[in-house]
Structure 1
């Protein structure tokens, strides 16, 4: 744990959007689902459907959480790296390796490192994770960012997307052939079964596996392009930058939708069409938050999200068994919740869970405590 310098140059909108992203996994999705169940409003029922991951091909709003986080790690590169370069490249490289290893370690904890018996780790624990993919995607994108010109980064971006598509479409899988994008027949899953030790998180397939981590690098690079535009393009006003982000997001979503007809949008495979579609939505969200918060300076409404965003890794980790927010909610609110009509109680339970998690983060904020990786 470290304190955060008050002179940080990071965008307020970046913290707010990161907090908005994490809000959905700290109970925000359940609030929408229970609200829809209570009211049966058609628009809420549609929104509630968006609060679940798509089983295989396709896209729901809930599928944006993971790629948006990686995208935002890329947005921060021009801001954090330029500042760290003042201490020399060696220190920056050490920071990159340290952050990568810590995130991978945290990811292993979420897969059972600390509670699975040591003699069973090889077969019972999974060695991939959400945090591990974030670490590797950010690390590889960081080195591309540091060793390439802006034009070369765009080339890397295109090569990664096209290369992954060609590998998935053209390299045959024994017994399944080439271009098979099913759960059991795709190339990424075959390589996971062949090369990954331990337990795959979906039986014979790993949604955070080896090959499918490659296009996640492109997700981080797309974020770095947005960060570069905001920080370095002096020919545009801040408002114009926001509009460019908005337009670029729409173009990316359209391109991803078109590519979907030959290379389906699929979060678990992290297909190239998914990179563009989710990346486009990420650009649009960044544009909205950037314009409202950093350009038009309407900031107060975003404070609850900023609190979450400034300790995003903390809330991700503690929710996985370290702190029982349900117990906190029950201790403080159960009497009130039980006094309400029974039909309202599931919604109030969901709100209470999110509130307990947010109060914990607010306590850390007031104590100026932030988990910096």
Structure 2
């Protein structure tokens, strides 16, 4: 029988990742954001690159606790629950890219924004697919089976990249298997256009290895809960984290650490760092019992997905009304372009946190 006593550190971890995600996504200007808070151009790894895989890892942590409730439910009820949450998350992600649903045409008239040019995949869409598939793997194959499938995916995925990619461009932005698959299935109009060519950083094929980030989060959550608050648990978590981080760096010489393609080396490296980060939080909060700082991140953790959605919608509206640029240029640039850009991100994050704090005070927790 697995005890269901929740570690405060798991909520803090999720809240810390949401906090960092908002800071990375909403600097005053992406052109003057500190290098650590910018994603690697292609191969490589920065702090910003740790955010998304860590969120998937946190989804896996939370999945462990959700699945404890499924034990009293029928198979049909479980499948309905998984399907409903998967579809809702995917739909919310799609609507986020379609928002604000209207645009100005070449004649200056406000018209309904066409479906034809709306991006299909994205952050929430990937979370939805990874959650849905990981849930089914764990539910039907149990943790051991899900771990075996995850290992097979990580070993097979580089083979797909080398087999399906264009000769000479197998791991480049143009000609890689991920882009080719998205162009074939989605079409260029439904892909991200933030680069010089249509490229989807949350592509369909590259979602396959991302599933393992969720499975890893589940397995770590399961182990922590099963082992309890012991030094042995903490040491094993640290050893696992260090081992995976090192393995990812070694694998980098075979297939580069690359968030855009979500390479296997990227998955292993980021999972190792997540284990180390979670171990550090557990040691401080659960072993040393130093918790005065944790409440700030718990506010984010208790309404994680809602606060993320709020941050994205608020940023879209501020940019659409040009307030985003005005606030940065007229207030925060007084601290300098780079420092001002960072302070703007901190301010924006705090505004989102304040909303979460008000909801927490009123015991309002919005589940997706």
TM-score range, shorter chain: 0.7 to 0.9
- Over the residues paired in the alignment, what is the CA RMSD in angstroms? 3.0
Distance (whole Å) between structure 2 residues aligned to residue 79 and residue 60 of structure 1: 30
Contact 1:168 1:179 in 2 (8 A): no
Instruction: Check 1:247–1:322 CA distance in 2 against 1; reply closer, same or farther (3 A cut).
Output: same
SS class of match (2:190)? coil
The question of 1:229 aligning with 2:223 is answered: yes
| Partner of residue 136, structure 2 | 143
Post-superposition Cα deviations, 1:57-97, rounded to whole Å, max 9, x if no partner, equal 01001111100010111122222201232233332222211
Counterpart selection for 2:186 from 196, 201, 218:
196
Contact 2:97 2:118 in 1 (8 A): yes
Distance (whole Å) between structure 2 residues aligned to residue 300 and residue 243 of structure 1: 24
Distance (whole Å) between structure 2 residues aligned to residue 33 and residue 243 of structure 1: 41
Instruction: Check 1:305–1:179 CA distance in 2 against 1; reply closer, same or farther (3 A cut).
Output: same
Instruction: Check 1:242–1:29 CA distance in 2 against 1; reply closer, same or farther (3 A cut).
Output: farther
- Superposition TM-score, scaled by structure 1 size: 0.82
SS class of match (2:250)? helix
User: How big is the shift at 1:300?
Assistant: 1.9
| Partner of residue 368, structure 1 | 363
The question of 1:18 aligning with 2:8 is answered: no
Distance (whole Å) between structure 2 residues aligned to residue 53 and residue 63 of structure 1: 6
User: How big is the shift at 1:31?
Assistant: 8.3
SS class of match (1:55)? coil
Aligned residue pair count? 341
| Partner of residue 180, structure 1 | 170
Distance (whole Å) between structure 2 residues aligned to residue 249 and residue 201 of structure 1: 33
Structure 2, gaps ≥5 residues long: 103-110
SS class of match (1:164)? helix
Distance (whole Å) between structure 2 residues aligned to residue 201 and residue 58 of structure 1: 21
Map 1:131-170 onto structure 2 (within 5 A). 131-170=124-163
| Partner of residue 62, structure 1 | 48
Counterpart selection for 1:213 from 207, 215, 222:
207
Contact 1:230 1:238 in 2 (8 A): no
User: How big is the shift at 1:149?
Assistant: 3.6
Distance (whole Å) between structure 1 residues aligned to residue 282 and residue 198 of structure 2: 41
Distance (whole Å) between structure 1 residues aligned to residue 312 and residue 27 of structure 2: 19
Contact 2:28 2:344 in 1 (8 A): no
Map 1:181-330 onto structure 2 (within 5 A). 181-197=171-187, 198-202=189-193, 203-233=197-227, 238-322=230-314
Distance (whole Å) between structure 2 residues aligned to residue 178 and residue 225 of structure 1: 38
Post-superposition Cα deviations, 1:16-60, rounded to whole Å, max 9, x if no partner, equal 1111111123337878999xx9xxxxxxx9xx4211100110100
Instruction: Check 1:115–1:79 CA distance in 2 against 1; reply closer, same or farther (3 A cut).
Output: same
| Partner of residue 355, structure 1 | 350
- Superposition TM-score, scaled by structure 2 size: 0.83
SS class of match (1:53)? coil
SS class of match (1:189)? helix
Distance (whole Å) between structure 2 residues aligned to residue 32 and residue 15 of structure 1: 28
Instruction: Check 1:321–1:265 CA distance in 2 against 1; reply closer, same or farther (3 A cut).
Output: same
User: How big is the shift at 1:199?
Assistant: 2.1
Map 1:45-84 onto structure 2 (within 5 A). 48-84=34-70
Distance (whole Å) between structure 2 residues aligned to residue 159 and residue 121 of structure 1: 37
User: How big is the shift at 1:343?
Assistant: 3.3
Distance (whole Å) between structure 2 residues aligned to residue 28 and residue 265 of structure 1: 20
More deviation, 352-361/247-256: 352-361
Instruction: Check 1:17–1:61 CA distance in 2 against 1; reply closer, same or farther (3 A cut).
Output: same
Map 1:87-106 onto structure 2 (within 5 A). 87-106=73-92
